[in-house]
Structure 1
Amino acid sequence: MPAGPPQLVGKVLREAQGVADGAGYDVVTHDASDRDDGQWDADGWKVCFQTAGGQRGGGRPVLDLGVVRVDSPCPAADGEAVPWPVMPGVAGASLVRAGEMLEAVGVRKVRPESVYTDVVLPADPSTWRVCFQEPAPGEEVENPQYATAYLKLAPPDAACPEEPYARLRPEPAS
């Protein structure tokens, strides 16, 4: 009989299975989120919860592991939704500051564009201000490491228009 179950929380599923087997335990797994996804790739999942699962027909003791995808945060409790971060509101911030705010929630890809159709974005728009963003502030960002934030920027010396794709210098009336 094993001395006691190994602590597997935080480990990638494949490693957890190996450690459990070496300690004399069989493993069963389930999706620890509210989704019920299958765990076909042991390298793509990590352990969030573990409980003793009894024994199989008098054989080895069983550990039941609640797992989520490796890139996901663990839910607060087994079976709850994954707590994805929400998109921060970056309107009014410089592109540099907006990038820092987005990086803080895990968003790595930022696509800056000029908010004005008649103004070209410079090679270095770091001092330009964000006027509009997509995803919207407060929107949940599932898998932020793969998300792209689209930011519409205005030059430092121009105000933000009421909506994107405006002209800074309206064409003269004929």
Structure 2
Amino acid sequence: MNPYNTPTPAPAPSHPWWKTTPAVLGLLALVALLSAFSLALGFLVMIAAMVAVWVLSPWRWFTRIGATLGALLLLTVGVGLGGQLDDRRTGPANAKAADHVRASGKAVSASPTASRPANAADYTGRPLDEAEKDARSAGYTAVNHDAAVEDRMIILRSGWTVCFQESDAAGKTIDFAAVRTSEPCPEKDGGPLPWPKMPDVVGATYNKAVEDLKQAGLDLDRVTLDDVYLDIDTPTAAEAAQDGDDWRVCFQSPDEGAKVDSATTVTLDLGQWTDADLVQRCPSKKDTTYKIPANDPAYDSGDGNDGSGSGSGTTDRDSAAPHRDSSSSSGGSTGGGTSVGTVHPGSFCSPAGAAGVSSAGTPMVCGPGSDGRNRWHRA
């Protein structure tokens, strides 16, 4: 064989540079470098390095596994170096700040106050839902519980009111103790509800009774009124207050000393009289006495005819002499019925067909009302 005629072997095929071993190793080294500055960026580069190791590199499988574990180690090392770099960057500033605090007496004395977290705002007396909303807006985590000893579950927060609060400024948490809006706050968290007790207002004028109820802590909006006369309509609170010294409390519910909680209804039964009235005392029980005696079906007219008057029954009324208005002196009849004088429109009456006049002079007749019972109405 002629050595000069021996063919030259073909060169080995070359790989692109990004598939070469130095390129893959450089990418792995970049993982540690970038993760020292940003964990997210270092993680993305590590993913790219894994793709290069398992797809692009000509390494064997055990070499690729070793490169994968090395990439994870480099990421961890880079993150650790990044933390040290952060400490070094902030260290001199902290040292300078400490030197400045030690050099200034004012700074030393003021630093504890400056570093102390601000206290939470005072939310007592506010609706629970609003208090929790504002506390969360201030960065606090709000929880709640029943301020009463019953330890009830709070469901509808808008119907509860904050009585007490306990906050942790450092932990940014606040605990609200609340009761239902219609309830009074206990003296301390977890104590019994201090429900007011019913005072004795029987015999007092309406004005005096209102003052006593207020002093006892009762809500006047929960007080209902009734009348004790058969022929007088129940006054409204405004009407009773307008003539508050003429209306007297004849009966009350509940009795004196009873606890008035959110489920208790307070009722005052009122009678009205002035110095001009012959009946100036409370009856023995409700719905037995007529304010105007002539409205009583058993009222004795005293006309001397048969002594029977307009009825034969008796009622529990004042023992003073019967009083009649001049309009009842005719003793005649209107529309075939007995005339009983001045009557109160809308009050009960008897017998059906009896006639009378209102205090304004309007002719009235006794007949069935909307409830089926005989009442005075316009003739």
TM-score bracket for the superposition, by shorter chain length: 0.7 to 0.9
- Report the Cα distance in structure 2 between the residues aligned to 1:82 and 1:65, rounded to whole angstroms: 17
2:224 maps to which of 110, 121, 130 = 110
With normalisation by structure 1, the TM-score equals 0.73
The Cα shift of 1:14 comes to 1.4
More strand by share: 1
**Which residue of 46, 57, 74 corresponds with 2:185?**
74
Equivalent pair of 2:119/2:169 in contact (CA under 8 Å): no
**2:220 alignment partner, SS class:** coil
Matches of 2:140 and 2:117 in 1, distance apart?
Answer: 8
Which consecutive residues of structure 2, in runs of 5 or more, have no partner in the other structure?
1-115, 291-298, 300-312, 316-379
State how far apart, in whole Å, the 1-side matches of 2:189 and 2:168 are: 15
Shift of 1:133: 0.9
Under a length normalisation based on structure 2, what TM-score does the superposition of the two structures give? Answer: 0.37
User: Could you give the per-residue CA deviations for residues 60-111 of structure 1, whole angstroms, max 9, x where no partner exists?
Assistant: 5321111011232211011112222222221112234334544552122332
Distance across 2 between alignment mates of 1:128 and 1:46: 36
Counterpart for residue 70 of structure 2: none
Q: Is the 8 A contact 1:133 1:150 kept in 2?
A: yes
Cα 1:7–1:94 change in 2 (3 A) is closer
Distance of 1:44 and 1:128 partners within structure 2:
36
The alpha carbon displacement at 1:53 in A equals 6.4
Alignment of 1:16-165 (within 5 A): 16-52=131-167, 61-102=172-213, 105-108=218-221, 109-114=223-228, 119-121=230-232, 126=243, 127-143=246-262, 147-153=265-271, 155-156=273-274, 157-165=279-287
Question: Counterparts of 1:67 and 1:93 in 2: how far apart (Å)?
Answer: 37
122-131 or 17-26: bigger deviation: 122-131
Do the aligned partners of residues 15 and 2 (structure 1) sit closer, same or farther apart at CA in structure 2, a change above 3 Å counting? Answer: farther
Alignment-mate amino acid for residue 226 of structure 2: P
RMSD: 3.2
Residues 195, 261 of structure 2: 8 Å contact kept: yes
Matches of 1:139 and 1:25, distance apart in 2: 42
Q: Which has the higher helix share?
A: 2
CA distance in 1, matches of 2:198, 2:188: 23
Deviation at 1:18, TM superposition (A): 1.7
Shift, 1:37, TM fit: 2.2
Q: Residue 43 of structure 1: CA displacement?
A: 1.3
Structure 1: gaps of 5 or more residues: none
Cα 1:103/1:53, change in 2 over 3 Å: same
Question: Number of paired residues?
Answer: 164
Q: Distance in 2 between matches of 1:159 and 1:26?
A: 62
Return the offset for 1:112. Answer: 1.9
Q: Are the counterparts in 2 of residues 107 and 147 from structure 1 also a CA contact under 8 Å?
A: no
Contact between 2:140 and 2:173, CA under 8 Å: does it hold in 1?
Answer: yes
2:142 and 2:213 map into 1 onto residues whose CA distance is 38
Alignment partners' CA distance in 2, 1:52 and 1:39: 19
Letter of the aligned partner of 2:167 in structure 1?
Answer: A
Give the aligned partner of residue 119 of structure 2.
4
Which structure has more relative contact order (CA 8 Å, sep 6+)? It is 1
CA distance in 1, matches of 2:258, 2:168: 38
Is contact 2:117-2:169 (8 Å) kept?
A: no
Residue 177 of structure 2 contacts residue 189 of structure 2 at CA under 8 Å; is this kept in 1? yes
Counterpart of 1:159 in 2: which secondary structure? coil
Displacement, 1:147? Answer: 3.4
Aligned amino acid, residue 314 of structure 2: E
| Closer, same or farther: CA 51–19 of 1 in aligned 2, 3 Å | same
The 1:19–1:167 alpha-carbon spacing in structure 2 relative to 1, beyond 3 Å, is: closer
SS at match of 1:141: coil
Q: Distance in 1 between matches of 2:122 and 2:155?
A: 22
